[in-house]
Amino acid sequence: EVISEEYSLEYGKDVMEMHVGAVQAGERALIVDDLVATGGTLSAAIRLLERVGVHVVECACVIELPELKVCLKVQKVIWCPNYIYIYICTLLFVMVLSII
């Protein structure tokens, strides 16, 4: 048995599913997304976890497409002061520049 959450892609829609019982109410979660373009998968993951009572404490992404202003879009959908957005690619870029 699974629960589903539909989300928007750059050029369409998709569905994210999670097995019922994969996580338990009251658990805490960190969501890591490899690439955030529209914020759809990140938002869907948060909504799925919150539907079953999981507390999402942080979100991180490896790559963000800054020209799409995703952070602003995601904050409009899921804004909560407890969410922290960590953009690892920005941190890596700063580290590389400091080495050069």
The CATH number linked to 71 is: 3.40.50.2020
For residue 39, pLDDT beyond 60: yes
DSSP 60-75: EEEEE-GGGTHHHHHH
More confident residue, 71 or 38: 38
Residue 89 corresponds to which tokens in the numbers above? 């690619």
Strand order in the sheet with 55-64: 28-36, 55-64, 85-87
For residue 89, pLDDT beyond 90: no
Question: Region 1-22: what's the mean pLDDT?
Answer: 93
Which pLDDT value is given to residue 33? 83
Question: Region 71-89: what's the mean pLDDT?
Answer: 52
**What's the number of domains the chain is made of?**
1
Which pLDDT value is given to residue 71? 59
For residue 98, pLDDT beyond 50: no
Three-point CA angle 10, 58, 67, nearest 5°: 35
For residue 78, pLDDT beyond 60: no
Distance separating alpha carbons of residues 58 and 8, to the nearest angstrom: 22
Domain span including residue 86: 2-99
Tens-place pLDDT, residues 62-77 = 776 766 666 555 555 5
